[in-house]
Amino acid sequence: MSALPPPETCDFHGLPALRLTAPDGATALISHHGAQLLSWIPAGGAERLYLSESAVFDGRQAIRGGVPVIFPQFGGKGKLRHGFARELPWEVVAARTGKDYATATLRLTDGEATRALWPHVFVAEMTVLIAGNRLDMELEVENADDKPCAFTAALHTYLRVQEVENVALQGLQGLRYRDQTDRNKEDTDRQEALVVEDELDRLYLGVKKPLLLSHPGGGAIAMEQEGFPDTVVWNPWEKKCAALKDMPRDGFRRMLCVEAAAAARPVTLEPGDTWFGRQTLVAL
């Protein structure tokens, strides 16, 4: 039996990237910059992630779209808004193709620049695995310091849709959420399915059940998360999208972010402890 080809290193808009190809034809593209997943095409399917046509690939700022890795701070203002992990180069530490999957792991460790922003010694690893119609993404953080650390984190997943006003997101009914468009006012989602009709920025608390994103044109996605207790659902809508220099004015129509997050309460790690959060997507 011939050996399976290893994942391919390539150049994507001037940035080094890793292209995974599973034996069944599923593919993924991961930028070394930010350990950011930029593309996921299930076996026999079409692209499922939204990558902005106006995204900037300068190796300094975050790339708009795909799955930015948010660490060690979700949201907030100042130098740590959405953390620094998405703006730094990560090292590929493992990449292989199996008989029915392809996977890669990238690593980020602290340095002088990160400690100036967040004074902790850490090891973060982002692992991506594709197989058939399934995508697994896992963020693992180790506290390598001699003192406790606390952080928030998320996988800021941009899902590609045909028309955002036609999608329905099921699985959030009965959950409390903070409306970040209305001063974090708390409410309960009473709808059988969430539909997008305006700017949307909600932090759902205690999400334990799978979610289902569907729309009339097909291409549903089932989502499940582990380790991440919260889910953020975000769409900037027309006005805010127009103010984003790295998105086309109508880009909001073709995306919906459904983010696995640990955002409502910080994760606290004692020295030597490890935490992980995982998000799984299944194309239907």
Question: What is the domain extent for residue 120?
Answer: 1-53+71-146
Catalytic center residues: 156, 259
Contact present, 44 and 77 (Cβ < 8 Å): no
For residue 182, give every residue at least 6 positions away whose Cβ sits within 8 Å of its Cβ, in sequence order, or none: none
Regions of the chain where pLDDT drops below 70: 1-3, 77-79
Please, what sign has the CA dihedral across residues 10, 15, 17, 19?
A: negative
Q: Does 167 lie in the same domain as 29?
A: no
Q: Is residue 250 part of a domain?
A: yes
State the CATH number of the domain containing residue 109. Answer: 2.70.98.10
pLDDT digits (tens, 9 = 90+) for 28-56: 999 999 999 999 999 999 999 999 999 99
pLDDT in the model for residue 77: 61
Q: Which of 120, 146, 172 is the last residue of a domain?
A: 146
- Single pTM value for the model: 0.96
Q: Are residues 26 and 135 in the same domain?
A: yes
DSSP strand pairing (185-188 vs 8-12)? unpaired
Q: Which of 146, 176, 194 is the last residue of a domain?
A: 146
> Reading across the β-sheet that carries 193-194, which strands appear in turn?
91-97, 102-109, 122-131, 134-143, 274-283, 221-226, 211-214, 168-170, 193-194
Examine residue 233 and state whether it is found in any structural domain, yes or no: yes
> In total, how many domains does the chain have?
2
pLDDT of residue 76: 79
92 belongs to a structural domain: yes
Query: Is 233 in the same domain as 126?
Result: no
Q: Residue for token digits 């974090």?
A: 184
Which residues contact residue 18 at a Cβ distance below 8 angstroms, ignoring those fewer than 6 apart? 7, 8, 9, 10, 29, 30, 32, 92, 95, 104, 106
135 and 1, same structural domain? yes
C-alpha distances (whole Å) from 1 to each of 4, 23, 101, 102, 110 are 9, 14, 17, 18, 42
79 domain-assigned: yes
Residues 4, 136: one domain? yes
